[in-house]
Each structure stands twice: as structure tokens, then as C-alpha cells.
Amino acid sequence: MAARFPIFDNHIHLRPEFQGVLAAKAFEKAGGTAFLLTHAPDDHIPIHRGEDYGPAYQKTLRMADAVRGATAIQVFVALGPYPVDYLHLRESLGPAPAMDAMRKGIDLAAAHIAEERAVAFGEIGRPHFPVDAEIMAACNELLGYAMARAKELDCAVVLHTEDPTRETFAGLARIAANARLDPKRVVKHHSTPLTRTEDTHGLVPSILAKEDLVVEALKGQPRFLLETDYIDDPKRPGAVLGPATVPKKTRAWIDKGLLTEAAVWTIHHELPETTYRIELR
């Protein structure tokens, strides 16, 4: 690169049972400097009740500390109940207790955010596959609750939902508005490459680091984050994208002229800092 930039992966999962710190070192070796370590479901800590989120979150926080201890990477953490958890809890507990358990998961995440162990709720939202209207309404209610807590804490939320259309963005923006949460604090993980503010309604799209998506995203404006959504799963090694992808691709796209230095600065420095209220080195 012509200049040294912060390189930020907006969505990565790491597991101590698989690559864990080794994946983080691959990110760093490729030029990565910071990432958002996002909480994910863990088969080793199944969620049967709201209190189970306590040890689950602690495992993610310990993973963050392990990476900090072994690398120079700035690790920021997002915590929250995975949306599909609601379906399993609803089946085992019933609708009302499942809602209570999910709210407990949100509140436990809020406590970590308040103590600055995490910077965002995530990934939260609703299932990425079709569900009936009653389940969708319940998930949207939980999303509104989390956004209200985010407003209270002045933090961001990272959304897991269906692939967004302009109408999806508009609907999510309405939930944020009802919670009085600024849309610039709402990140749509695994987004489609819609980047114009009029299309995203002010939400922040986070796009997989794939060239076809970035080319399309740049037709709007360079107001997007890049992610791998690396899941660190031994059953799917390398999925969704490998941990070194964001720094490697960013370097390649600068070299071929796809990304300007100004765009890189926006994507990897300005937007992460303003979205999560963090300081990047």
C-alpha cells in the first residue's frame, strides 16, 4: 500500500476449539489491525434459559483477551442473543418465557457494554430464513428492545436478518426510530451492496469482502464496512471467508485502483470509529 492504513474486519467469529488465536494471527500477518469479534452460538454452551448467556458471553470475552495477549490486534466485541435462539427457546419454553430469556440475554450483554467490555449488541435481529408472522413480530419486538437499550447506552447494534432490500432497510430504520436510536449506530451485517443513504435510510451496510459486491457497492458511495463473517467452524473450514481476506483484498483493490486511499480511510477508519465510538490506531 502507498500508505499504512488501519484494516478493520467488521464481523468475525473465533473459537478456541478450532483456529482461534491462529486465525487472528493470519489476519494480522496479512496486514489486519482491528476487528469486531462477534458473539455466536456455541454448541459447548447450549442456551436453555436466559442465564445461559452469562457463561456464553464470558467465553467470547476470554477469546478476545487471548487474541489481545498474542497479537497487536485491536479487538472490539459485540455480544447479544443470536436471533435463531428464539425459535429453539420458543419450542422448549413457550413464547412468553422465550421472550423473557432473550431479553435476559440482551440485558446481560448490556451490562458488559456498560462496563466497556463490549462496544455493541450483536449479532441480533431475526432469522435469515422465512418464518411466520407471529415469530417475525416477536423478533422485531426484541430488536426494538435491544435498540432501546443501545440508545440508553449510546452504542451500536449489529443486525442479523434476511438479505436486505430497500424496503428491509426502511423497516429496520422505523424500528430504530421508534427506539430513538440514530440509524448511523445500526449496522446491517451480511448486507447486500446497497450503499446510497436513500437506499439504506442511514443504516450502515457491512459487506462481505468479495470483489463483485465491492464493485457494486462503490456505485453508490464508500459508506460501508467490510467483513469476512469467518465462523471458525471445523465442519466448514474457511467459511464464510478466511480470516486474512479483508486485509489481502483491501491491498489488492488498492493496487488495481478499485479502492482509492480516501475510500479505504472511510471504510477502515472513519466509519468504524463513528459507528462504534472507538479509536483505531
Distance (Å, whole) CA 132 – CA 147: 23
Which among 116, 125, 146, 118 has a CA at the least distance from the CA of 37? 118
> What domains are defined for the chain?
8-276 (3.20.20.140)
Tens of pLDDT, residue by residue, the chain (281 residues): 445 789 999 999 999 999 999 999 999 999 999 999 999 999 999 999 999 999 999 999 999 999 999 999 999 999 999 999 999 999 999 999 999 999 999 999 999 999 999 999 999 999 999 999 999 999 999 999 999 999 999 999 999 999 999 999 999 999 999 999 999 999 999 999 999 999 999 999 999 999 999 999 999 989 999 999 999 999 999 999 999 999 999 999 999 999 999 999 999 999 999 999 999 99
- In order of 30, 189, 196, 257, the CA distances from 219 in angstroms are 27, 19, 9, 14
